[in-house]
Structure 1
Amino acid sequence: MMLGWCGATSSSGAAEIDFNRDIRPILAENCFYCHGQDPNKREADLRLDDREAATAKGAIVPGDAATSLLIERIHATDPDVQMPPPTSNRKLSDAQKQLLKDWITQGARYQKHWAYEPPIRPAAPEVTGRDWVRTPIDQFVLARLEQEKLAPSPEASRATLIRRLSIDLTGLPPSPEEVQQFVDDNDPLAYEKLVDRLLASPHYGERMALAWLDAARYADSNGFQQDGDTWQWMWRDNLAALLNRDLPFDEFTKWQLAGDLIPDATTEQKIASGFNRNHLLNGEGGAIAEEQRFVILFDRVDTTATTWLGLTMACAQCHDHKYDPITQVDYYSLMDGFNHLPESGTPQRFSSRIRVAPPLMELPTEENLAYIAKIEAEIATIEKEMAPSLALVFEGWRLGITADNSAADLAGLAEDLATIARKEEKDRSDNEKQKLAAGLQKYFDEKVRSQLAAKLDGLPKIDGLRKQIADYRADQIPRVMIMSDERARQTSVLSRGEYLSPTEPVSFNTPAFLPPLPSDAPKNRLGFAQWLFLPDHPLTARVQVNRMWQHFFGTGIVKTSEDFGVQSEYPLHGPLLDWLAVEFRENGWSVKKMHRLIVTSATYRQASRVTPELKSRDIENRLFARSSRFRMPSLVLRDWALRASGLLDTRVGGKPVYPYQPDGIWESLAITKERDFTYPASSGSDLYRRSLYTFWRRTVGPANMFDASNRQACRVRAVPTSTPLHALTTLNDPTWAEAARVLAERTIAASGNLEEQLSIAFARVVSRQPTPSELSLLRRAYDKQQAIFAADPAAATASLQVGSAPRNQSLDAVQHASLASVCLAIMNLDEALTRE
């Protein structure tokens, strides 16, 4: 059912007023907190979120605004009766008051919130500019533009398009050769072929994983003061692999939420369930384990609801939601699906560095197995050499304790073995003889050998090697945290969310205001994951395609991508959102197909230039009359600089690395001698891995990733920031300084002509050739730097010492430093930092 997405608004009352678009936002912002569904906060026993309740109290008299108490109160001047109360710091505008009056006059028709109605595919609207349209997306966008009497922007240049696609689909710059090849390609399907190549790249999954890491609050440590390290990087690698594979989103969801519950679950599926084990773990001395277990539980519910439902359910932990129809019973019934892990709430210490919490999967890498095999081979060699001497010691001991069956020294030996040992040899059966021999050998090895054979050469070394293996296993064998339902627990509603105050018991169920859980569905997380993809589910598909749009346009069709509830933004392009949701569902839940659909649209391919008219009428680009323009995320900026310089190590997957960070960055954590918090800086190619693989300490995040989530809570909408920290990082951080130095060296090797060198460097960073005027500016910048360094050659030499990559010492230091300074300036151009 369509919900009046494009209806006109009028304060005269002549046009139909749409409740969802025009009235609900006013009531939600100003009235529902005190007059909503939460009975604990409801004033005057009045509800305005429900038509029957509002009319029963006379607050609203449909068709008669003059006698409606709501209209009387919002126009009152007496602060004791005025609504909203002056103390609420809320105030209705004259236009809002008129809308409410006209709405009541028209009959005060209510609607179910638009996001809670199942999406039905609307017909693509007819448009005048049909030649511009490439996909149905464009018909919806153009129809709205024509309604607003606006025209779409021209298509961006090919150089801009390949750069834009590379940023959005892989996060890595195209080479100048790839740019030129695309620019010169006359194939009518050249663009589509480029899209398909980038979608097939192994770097696609790495790029798309970034948003999922923020949603999953992924980090490589627990958080809190102890901040023990984890092995959750195995989940991160699994995530990127599934995104590359384009596992259908319904299956992907089952794996993330309930991979462990899938019949005959594979290792891959169990690892995927680690999505909900990426939470903080509090191992502090004063932490109460059961309290922390509930903190983790609440976090799981909130993270899952935000990620898949686009709902903020945290309010219902303590009381019925004040705005959305989510009750406390709904909250705790859903929480029951996450309440059966065999977990204590606190981490288990495996080594001074590692602290993780069961349930776990131990997954040794080939490197781990090779190392252990090497040490075990050393032990075997020593034991072989010692075997004759050790056998004599053992035999002497064995004869000694069994020589007199009535007085044998059998202390500590298992009773069944002691009983056999007390028998005479002739009275022991063959089975008893074998059992006794094995038992005595084991007892000797564990309890006696170290005492009787301590002086034998090699034995202390064997014990040291075995301890070495034990320590290595504890510190180096990955044990990824996964989900499990092995612990039966009763879930109850908690009074005010207090874990020590259970009230009524509940069992697993989904929120009552949404489609019911099918009777034959499992009453657990797997059933929940299946329920998300019911044909009439209103949220799952909408929420996901909105985030896809957010990825490619900077802002979702619904700006509040984390909240599709009553307080969410009413979408300007509601029909497009519904069309995309149905398309996603009916296309087999293929994310790559949806990404391809979006990036091949004429809407996506527009230039990003802001005209004076668009600046005055739609500065945020909510009508999509142009392509969006926004600064690249810091994680992508770092990768871009490394790739442009040629330093980037493009290996896919693997354990975290430790690239450049400020000196002593972790020292504030070392308040005890229990653990060394020295930053273990990487070396060699590990310094140049993609940002995705940087070790993420929750308490002290990577300093050069200035706009990233702190990974302590679920985040699905990035908030752009503009602080001096950005420029300080990209101008001074060792990564950028070294990348500029290496880029300069690379361009010097490619050409002996300065202007060609400047053009090469510019093209590698910005993905196009500089214009003559730009080249002139770059030449002037070079000349200025050369004059500075020629006057101070020592400064030139010093500037080239940043970073671990070796420098070609045969290059003139002044020339190299001057060009490196210009390369750094290129990397800091607005165009270089911006996705256009």
Structure 2
Amino acid sequence: TNEQRIATGFLRNNATTDEGGVIPEEYRVEYAVDRVKTTAVVWMGLTMECGQCHNHKYDPITQEDYYRFFAYFNQAADPGMQTRNGNQTPTAQVAASDTSDKKQQLTAELAAAEAALDAHKAGAQAAFLAWANEAAKGEKKPAIPEDVAVHLPLDDAQGDAPAVLLADGQRQGKVHGAASWVEGKQLGALRCDGSNFIDAGDVANFERTDAFSYGAWIRPPGGAGGAALARMDDGAAYRGFDLYVSGGRVSVHIIHSWPSNAVKVTTEQALKPDQWQHVFMTYDGSSKAAGITIYFDGVKQKWNIEQDGLRDTIRTEKTLYVGRRNPGSPFRGDIDDVRVYARQLSEAEVQSLAGSDGVAALLAKSPEAWSPEERAALENHYFHSRDKAYRQKNAATAKLRTQLAALDKPVSTVMVMQDVPQPRMTYILERGNYASPRKDHPVEPGVPSVLPPLPEDAPPNRLGLARWLVQPDHPLTARVAVNRYWHMLFGTGLVKTLEDFGSQGESPSHPELLDWLAVDFVEHGWDVKRTL
């Protein structure tokens, strides 16, 4: 949960540097060393730092034990050179804390609205089947989804005033730079030379929890690219979304803050240079890379995930641009028939936009021959494109989703722990020196050998370490905690050395009492209030 991520900020409260001339890797290692020391002292009352440089004759924690523990914190994504301009990423958003009643109300309203949508669908099945029957008999032409939110046909463009058609019938839009109109896939098209673009205005300001789809016919020359479509603020860590071409491959970015709070996928296949191709993406509102589908000419593309950690808003005050982001990544190539939908289109609908009519192909079958997926695709098309009452109910439902998401609008940020996407190798450092890793002695994450082993199913990361720290048979965590509470109440601990339960610390004055308090604390759910 976000609350759990915020709690990891405890480990980000170490001293950092932004001093010019420092060696970032040296300080990155220092931060990990600090986190090892703090975690050991706070949770277990152990002084582990002696193992950083070498073994000690009477210290049961060996150097290898130390670096196995160190490995958990060696994966942190925060850099060695940090910033003094606000919180250093990775960060998490902190929402207002007094919205629970409103959230509960909106959640109930949303559930009722979604139930009403389902009921409408169930009650309109006869109308749906009647439409399917008539459509199958009718003229075979692409069944283009009609509920387009933003449409730039770019066919009747004159000068610097292209037609940007909105769902409510309004027209707007302006070309910046020299307008260059060429023959397109469908009549006219805009030729982008890197200096011109279209500002489509304050439209398509989606939230990460919204489902949406967008794309266009594009014709990039070999080796060229850029953002064909974007509502993105480069100056705010690239917040927003885009359709980006680089080296012929197509990427979709959906971003709160790049790179730590974002989704990015990139196609394995490249576009063919100097040829018109229909490039379209659909997104399901899940905030996950798996929720994105990219199509070339109506065909699903395989893609690679480059980021998959979107957690916060993607809304921006910047407007929708065709031909660049705001203000960078200019597109070079031709663009035609730009479309944005405020929902996730089906595969058949995307095929219709690309000219290979998937809807007509499904309608050619009898309803009895439809697979569940095919029926769902046709229903999706019918209810969103042909059923006005459904569209109205769906718009009201989407509004409730937006209102619910707005309650999580952040009021602040907090630094949190996050692991790097590709795990770092951890080695024993000769005499603790960051520049002297013993490449012949790699270590895996683990805990001191003198303490109970990790649970068999514990993942090799900080989550596994956290579960180990609070497992019921851990000999230190609960004892260290209740000893501190005793000190808070009575001015001295049952173990006077609060931060040293090791061989150099004092023995407990009342060991049986300490044991009883620790067991009672664990058996009652680590309830601090009850214990106090």
TM-score normalised per structure 2: 0.44
CA radius of gyration, larger in:
1
Q: Which has the higher strand share?
A: 2
